[in-house]
Amino acid sequence: MASDPTPGFEVGPQLESGSTVRAPPVWAFLTGPYALFLVFLLIVPLANVALFSIHRYSPTRVALPELTFDNYRKIADLYYLRLFARTLRLGLITTLICALLGYPLAYWLARTRPRLQAVGLFLLIMPLMVSAVIRVFGWIVILGRKGLVNEALAALGLEPVRLLYTDTAVVIGLVNVFLPFMALPLMVAIERIPSNLEEAAQNLGANWHQMFRRIILPLSLPGLISGSLLVYSISISAFVTPALMGNSRERMAAQQIYDEVLVSFNWPSASSLALTLVLLTLALAFSALYVTRRAGRLERGR
Amino acid sequence: MRGRAPWLILPVVGAVYIGLLAPLAVVVGVSFGPSAAFAFPPTGFTLHWFAEFFASDAYVRSFFRVSLVVGLLAGAIATLFGTAAAVGLVRFRFAGREAIETFFLAPLLVPEILLAAALYLLYARLAVQASIWTLLCGHLVICTPYVVRSVIAGLVGMDPRLEEAAMSLGATRVQAFFKVTRPLLRSSLLSGAIFAFIISFSDINLALFLSGPQSTNLPVHIFSQIQWQGDPTIAAASTLQILIIGLLILIVQRIFRLRLLV
């Protein structure tokens, strides 16, 4: 082995050059346990799902040892098409609202004093870490038939409105639960924009809106893209929020998967649905990674 | 002088924070109120629902025997796995290093509900009974990436020459790690461990599929109580979780400035 010309990265070159033993290298011992764990509890389960998804369903024996693509063909049925269309539509609306609300929040977090930023981050991340079921429960109390909103309407002498168990409620819940996933990457992206760029633009006569459109928006685009894809991919696979706040007849994809796995035991069908969602999500995530990496390279290359 | 944002920004930011915090405030308020009909604002102050919580076997078991135990184990084991993996990735050069790093963070890209269904179907195929161990294995998949990320961040910010200096003075690689690197990594390790605990402690998506009747964790129990129209004991249980998580996040912020998630 040639001696490494860049000292400082290779730890213990004397061990490296002195070892003639063919034992596995140290890094394999360090990364091995977690890698093996992930193979057994991430790769194998996903492979198992893929396998289930091409087996024929049997009401008595769950899956027959007979290969078929029917489970995927079935997704073209009106029922499943509606299900996916609904899911993607609610995900899109959620993402848009998160972007609209996330920008002001992220801009404020990025440009405010460090002390306020610390408080702001705490108040953003603390709710994010509390179980989604608890935040949804709070919204049920607020929006319910005798909830805060309807009590206030009644006090004003107005008719109560049906808020809970509607699409509006689901979107409110989803935005509430996933907004931090939009605000955080946006904040990081805006922080990287030197604030003297903003000053320069304003000295040259740009008003705030021009400055936002020409400088902040383009330079924070990687943050917007990764935030959007993050919010989109988590909200299309959301279960708790639609299950507790949505209409029980108009559901989202994750609820269908839950029912087919745990209630009707149609595991082949559930597997094909799950895999379709995974592929949609992964394709989105990887394109996001690709776009942001490229954008980062362009930025550094300048 | 700084670019002045339009005055509209502050009210929007205020409204967003109210929206984010309102559900938590309502839950805490309801948990201390006497009304069994979830009245908010509370009409009085009582600890009745907390007494109910501690008197209920199902709540106590889900909180102390399942959520806390699984969370602590997940935090500890994820820290071991994750630290070893991060050290291996940062301190050594080998072919495929970047691919392995992506693989180690991949669980964050897989939607939780689908990972949950996949693990459920695997356990079903292998005829493994649901228990706190099946839940723990699932949680380790989603917790460990946080530790990996946190420790990688800590290691990258640290001068590797410190370890080399220790080794040129006669320390073995292992001694150098435990005497030099580990103390310097303390804050990344701690915040990684705390995040791993929180992720497990507040998880509901995996737990819905992976916990059996004897291993229902607190969020799943709360979920089923909401579905069955339970009383404000739900709010008391939620308040306890909010307090614990709020405290832990405060600690992480003190030691690591909360940059872990980004």
Q: Is B238 on the interface with A (CB under 8 A)?
A: yes
Total number of domains in chain B: 1
Looking at every residue in chain B, the average pLDDT score rounds to: 88
Tell whether B52 is covered by a domain.
no
Domain-embedded: residue B128: yes
Set of chain B residues whose Cβ sits within 8 Å of the Cβ of A37: 81, 140-141, 144
Torsion of CA B242, B244, B247, B248, to 10 degrees: -110
Which CA distances in Å does A211 have to A102, A195, A198, A208, A255? 18, 11, 7, 5, 44
Residue B86 backbone zone (phi > 0: left; psi -120 to 50: alpha; other: beta): alpha
Q: Could you give the domains of chain A? A: 75-301 (1.10.3720.10)
In a domain, B131, yes or no: yes
As a three-state string, the secondary structure of A230-263 is HHHHHHHCCCHHHHHHCCCCCCCHHHHHHHHHHC
Cα(A244)–Cα(A233) distance, integer angstroms: 20
**Looking at the complex, does the CB of residue B161 fall below 8 Å from at least one CB of chain A?**
yes
What's residue B147's pLDDT? 92
CATH of the domain at B75: 1.10.3720.10
Angle at A185 between CA A182 and CA A191, to 5 degrees: 130
Where do runs of H (alpha helix) occur along A54-112? 70-73, 78-111
pLDDT of residue B200: 95
Whether residues A26 and B173 touch (CB distance < 8 A) is answered with: yes
Residues 31-90 of B with CB under 8 A from A: 37-38, 40, 81-82, 84-85, 87-89
Flag whether B50 is in a domain: no
pLDDT tens sequence across B75-116? 999 999 999 999 888 888 888 888 888 899 888 878 898 899
Q: Is residue B145 part of a domain?
A: yes
pLDDT at residue number B173 = 81
Retrieve residue A38's tokens.
Answer: 């992930």
What is the model's pLDDT at position B237?
A: 94
Collect the ranges in chain A with pLDDT lower than 70. 1-23, 288, 292, 295-302
Angle at A31 between CA A30 and CA A35, to 5 degrees: 145
Judged by CB atoms closer than 8 Å, whether chains meet at A30 and B87 is answered as: yes
Structure confidence at residue A287 (pLDDT): 73
pLDDT at A133: 94
Name chain A contacts of B37, Cβ cutoff 8 Å.
146
- For residue B26, name the pLDDT band (cuts at 50, 70, 90): very high
Q: Which residues does chain B have within 8 Å of residue A210's beta carbon, measured at their own beta carbons?
A: none
Residues of chain B with Cβ-Cβ distance to A230 below 8 Å are: none
pLDDT of A298 reads 64
Is residue B222's pLDDT more than 70?
A: yes
CA angle (B102 as vertex; B101, B106 as ends), nearest 5: 120
**Domain residue limits at B215:** 60-256
- Chain B nearest-CA distance from A50, in A, is 9
Closest alpha carbon to B205 in B255, B107, B139: B139
CA distance B37 to B28: 14
In A, which residues are within 8 Å of B125 by CB distance? Answer: 48
pLDDT of residue A12: 43
- Tell whether B182 is covered by a domain: yes
The reply to whether B197 falls in a domain is yes
Q: Tell me the chain B residues in contact with residue A258 when contact means C-beta distances shorter than 8 Å.
A: 113, 117, 208-209
Does B184 score more than 70 pLDDT?
Answer: yes
Cβ-Cβ contacts under 8 Å between A and B: the total is 287
Spatial distance between the Cα atoms of A265 and A258, rounded to a whole number of angstroms: 10
* Closest-CA residue to B142 (of B63, B65, B77): B77
Nearest CB to B13; choose among A11, A12, A104: A104
Model ipTM value: 0.87
Q: Given CA atoms B200, B193, B23, B16 in this order, what sign does their dihedral have?
A: negative
* C-beta atoms of B114 and A239 within 8 A: no
Residue ranges of B 171-210 with Cβ closer than 8 A to chain A: 173, 198, 202-205, 208-209
Give the pLDDT mean for B201-210. 94
Instruction: Give the closest-approach CA distance of B228 to chain A in angstroms.
Output: 11
Give the integer Cα–Cα distance in Å for A235 and A241: 9
Residues of A in Cβ contact (< 8 Å) with B223: 133, 240, 244
Integer CA distances (angstroms), A300 to A224, A253, B156, in order: 18, 40, 19
Confirm whether B42 is domain-assigned: no
Indicate the DSSP class of residue A23: S
Give the residue from B10, B17, B121, B203 with the most A CB atoms within 10 Å of its CB, the best one to mutate: B121
